[in-house]
Amino acid sequence: MAWCGTTRALPNPHSTFHQFLLLPQQTYTQALPKNLWLAINEDGIHIMRRRAKDPIISYSYRDVVNYSPSLRNLMIVTESLTRGTKFVFNTTQVSQGQPLAMVGKSCAP
């Protein structure tokens, strides 16, 4: 699987699964840094400053109401389709939803 080569285990004392780390850029909102990390694990999605341990914001999968991957972007909508928060991440690491579909599946080291 392609994602096994791009996974990194992030420090998380409550997790035994890998977290998938994307290195996107975002220009959709000024509330977040342009360069960031998007960590995806069995608990949900976590938006982080690069080289930081703690997330800026985290969402459980219950809060993710829509996501739309493309060859160069990943759009995630949380909380509500009409009044929720929309994130658009620019990255070539996304391939038709694979990061969200792979969550909780362990890769062999």
Average pLDDT over residues 44-51: 92
pLDDT of the residue at 109: 40
Domain positions in the chain: 2-8+17-101
Identify the DSSP state of 91. -
Q: In b/e form, how buried is each residue of 24-50, taking b as 16+ CB within 10 angstroms? A: bebeeeeebeeebbbbbbebbbbbbee
Max mean pLDDT among 14-18, 62-66, 95-99, 102-106 falls in 62-66
Max mean pLDDT among 2-11, 16-25, 36-45 falls in 36-45
Average pLDDT over residues 76-105: 74
CATH number, domain 2-8+17-101:
2.30.29.30
